[in-house]
Structure 1
């Protein structure tokens, strides 16, 4: 059993992430599976488009130098048209293939992220809001897609165009080409300092966007609470605060681009004016032909347009680096602990807690040296004040967390020695507010069953859970939509569907978080009958809040301040445990009051 604190491990994992580099982004792309053949064809077509674009200025210059009406023949015109069409077709097909490559990579990356997200341990979700993780899977990956489709290969093509064009320009007139090259270090000198600023802004923008998504998700998910509490104004302010924060970062990015883009344009215009002026002097002196000057200017445009896109590429690269950093938090976080031992848990064994110590935060322990045994095929009730660790014990049994010290065993083996999926398959859990997934009643009853479930099995589980009659009375019967979190059903109906789901799993170990505590008397009666059947011949552990539940238990474990202070039957503890006796007396008075009401 791992003896390190779970939350502490998480903090270390996040703190130890190194600064994101280009190598991380490249590794991310390759891990998603690049369709190499399609990408190769796209690059080839992109290069053909670039080369065809370079030939056009040379043909045009040649035509100007030989410009006589009689010299313009069909072959020359067809040659020019051919290169125009070749550039257009190769460019269009290349873009389509790049869009396919980008979408394919991101689709695989999203699947990988989704699979990894579902494999992350519960403490990870304690530290990160669900909407933030949704934003990483949806929005951050979309930034990568846009970068691949609109910028990455275009950058490579543009770079080849610039290098080739510069080589041709040297051939046409090396003196004017040197003037052009003087502009390059000037542009780079302005680009580099702004890169780190764009990177920091990009990371903050993504975090702010995720925060806004989290606020919207939480408020809309609990809209009934918001309205019943008259908290619309408060949530409006919270939402506006997040929106304002996002707006501020957007404006910071806009201010940098407002300087960067016009600056690059200014450099290009000044360069163009200088080249035209100096080229005119060269033509008038006879050192350069008119056609060569036209070719030179057209090739200059072939350089200036890609060069202007370099700024956009550089800006988006910083955004992608920020997105990659946020995705690395998911991809590089260790998944739930998987055992290499292939033991399968026996059907019925006692469970034993031995000197368990645990805290969600290392400095704030919840359980302190907890030891007790849960006999098989018996009902054990956990009682104690709020914060004593009852729900934490359930979480440790389900292996959402690992104890900092001690061992939980099933029979002679620690539960950590069993494969996680095999262990959780043994467990049935019914809580006070049994959650339902959006979908039909049938979907929720069979939820968690990996094999085929027959109609007879579904109906039988519903009958045993005392749910079939109310389901059959609904217009859609088992195909009735339950709504988000089961909002279209009553509390008692949700509980009975949850019990039917637990019955269909055929668990060996049953965890009940006082499943009737929040129900009215009629619903409680129906649910209790279903629970009585569910508990037959099963090891059952109940978090108990009512005396009626405790009295029927075979064993009661009293928890106080994270420690076991008593174990026994109701009669034994009433006579030997002062705190339990006081609690039982209060519960007896409360139950009497409820029955009179």
Structure 2
């Protein structure tokens, strides 16, 4: 049973040690705590001397001065050591959060397909917060408590071993009470952390899609989901509170019981003359120096169980496989053909999305993907972006499999203009240069804005390039967001351009401007287009028709109209 306990806490300890504890601050803090406790242990002895020799005539000014100095020194040392140990705790948690953040942003897209963003945020903020409370608050008290108990017990054994043995009967009683409560607290803590993560995910999603909620009159539905989550959190919180409510009174009961026994037994000893009054007072003071840390220990072990549960969740994330890191070759992909060779892909085991997909795209040409919704067009883009890896087959650029090229090198040479033009909260400048580490001067930014036909509307804003766009670019129109996205692509000068029907949701005036910008952007680049409207791809060099994950037709618009029944049906519906 003991070995199992050690094993269960091993991952937690390993995770904390991996954060590189600030050794100097930790050492000084521990030494400070040790000195503080040792100084504190002298106070009952000094009090004994004062009580045993107590009278107005015999009162020693020197003794009183010594006691006052001891109190002041102890308080100063205590403050210093507490701060240093809290400093260590805060640093550990900061590094833990940094490690979690760096891990999460390097996880593959497939992880975020399974988990909500709110859940990931909860792991970084809430779970690390539980560990922070343990290390910053409870751990320093635990260390000083251990020192205090050991020192007090040694002195008490020297003073009166019989009363010490009587007092120590509280230890097995406390362990007997606290062990089952600790196990229950761990179970509740697991559930509470999971429920908190789920609730954070739901709330994040609701707030991020607030316009959809308002437009759909979905306030009541979201209210119901939210109150249900709050009720679940309340249930777990009350369970936790019930255990904490039991721990406090039980400990007080044990403390009061042992205190009454010690005072009663000590009073008899004083009456018999086998113990002085000062010794009894000192004994009671030492008793508090043992009892107070014991109450802290119960909180420490309770928090330790919670931190262990949080740590297990964090370790699950930290052990996940990241996207390919900096490993891989640096390769210039200009004037290289792109080939899919017998590619199979599925998001889960139940349903195949792409089946035996093969095609080749020559450099500098435009290839369009058409077909019914759910056929696999967007998945092809996901594989090209390397958000996912094929289960079978391979994708090549020239003669090199793209998974042998470093991700940074590959993605830096690809431009993506999507239908919804994602933007980050910030300024137009920050959105244009998002992901670019080198400084870009204003002349270059205005140049790409002009090429994307975005210069005019940006100049109309009072703050120009420093205009705030709002969350997800909500302060800009759809056409303006698209032109910012195109300008961003111009700035990166991609060798391969991917467009998910970038004009599909625009009005006719915006579409015309954006289409001109896209035409300019496509010049001389290998271009992949997902077509929702065939009118935008009739001039494509090659059209690939995908149905249910399989390519059923390849050719120009004219060739497919003549030789592919479903494409011809699409064309007749949309173009006539």
The reply to whether TM is greater than 0.5 is yes
Query: For each residue in 1:45-103, what CA deviation from the matched residue of structure 2 results, as whole angstroms up to 9, or x when unmatched?
Result: 11112111111001111222222333322221111112111211111112222222222
Contact persistence 1:219–1:226 (CA under 8 A)? yes
Relative to structure 1, the CA distance from residue 103 to residue 40 in structure 2 (aligned partners, 3 Å threshold; closer, same or farther) is: same
Q: Is the 8 A contact 2:82 2:140 kept in 1?
A: no
Post-superposition Cα deviations, 1:382-433, rounded to whole Å, max 9, x if no partner, equal 0010111000000000110100000000000000010011001111000111
Tell me whether 1:389 sits opposite 2:376 in the alignment. Answer: yes
SS at match of 1:512: strand
The structural deviation recorded for 1:584 is: 1.1
CA shift for structure 1 position 29: 1.7
Look up the SS of the partner of 2:335 in the other structure: coil
Q: Distance in 2 between matches of 1:246 and 1:366?
A: 38
Structure 2 distance, partners of 1:517, 1:121, is: 28
Partner SS for 1:542: strand
Partner of 2:172: 185
Contact kept? 2:324, 2:406, Cα under 8 Å: no
Question: 1:167 and 2:150 equivalent?
Answer: no
Query: Shift of the alpha carbon at 1:339?
Result: 6.9
Number of the residue aligned with 1:197: 184
Residue aligning to 1:467: 454
Partner residue of 1:272?
259
Which residue does the alignment assign to 2:529?
542
Give the SS at the match of 2:169: helix
For 1:455, the equivalent position in structure 2 comes to 442
Tell me what 1:40 maps to: 27
> Is the CA contact (8 Å cut-off) linking 2:333 and 2:413 kept in structure 1?
no
The one-character-per-residue Cα deviations of 1:112-133 (angstroms, maximum 9, x if unpaired) are: 2111111111111111111111
Displacement of 1:442: 1.3
Structure with greater contact order relative to length (CA < 8 Å, sep ≥ 6): 1
Q: CA RMSD in A?
A: 1.4
| 1:493 aligned residue | 480
Aligned residue in 1 for 2:509: 522
**Contact 2:52–2:276 at 8 Å: present in 1 too?**
yes
**Offset at residue 498 of structure 1 (A):** 0.2
Q: Which residue of 1 aligns with 2:239?
A: 252
**1:402 and 2:365 matched:** no
- Please name the residue that 1:330 is paired with: 317
- CA deviations over 1:408-467 (Å, ceiling 9, x no partner): 000000000100110011110001110111111111111122222121111111111011
Instruction: Tell me, yes or no, if the aligned pair for 1:339 and 1:417 is still in contact at 8 Å.
Output: no
Give the corresponding residue for 1:578: 565
Matches within 5 A, 1:67-466: 67-338=54-325, 340-466=327-453
TM-score, L = length of structure 2: 0.97
Question: Separation in 1 of the partners of 2:383 and 2:331?
Answer: 19
**In structure 1, which of residues 50, 57, 60 is the aligned counterpart of residue 44 of structure 2?**
57
Alignment equivalent of 1:567, drawn from 554, 561, 571: 554
Mapped to 2, the partners of 1:380 and 1:23 lie a distance apart of 54
TM-score by length of 1: 0.94
Contact 1:448 1:505 survives alignment (8 Å): no
Deviation (angstroms), 1:343: 4.2
Distance 2:169 2:378 in 1: 70
Alpha-carbon separation, structure 1, partners of 2:228 and 2:321: 34
- Secondary structure of 1:69's counterpart equals coil
Following the alignment from structure 1 to structure 2, what is the Cα–Cα distance between the partners of residues 427 and 181?
A: 71
CA contact (8 A) 1:367 1:389 kept: yes
Mapped to 2, the partners of 1:127 and 1:20 lie a distance apart of 30
Query: Residue 20 of structure 1: CA displacement?
Result: 8.0
What do residues 328-380 of structure 1 show as CA deviations (whole Å, max 9, x unaligned)?
A: 12211111024744241432211000000000002211001111111110000
Question: Which is further off, 63-72 or 558-567?
Answer: 63-72
Q: Which runs of 5+ in 2 are unaligned?
A: none
CA–CA separation in structure 2 for the residues paired with 1:257 and 1:441: 51
The whole-number CA distance in structure 2 between the counterparts of 1:19 and 1:241 is: 38
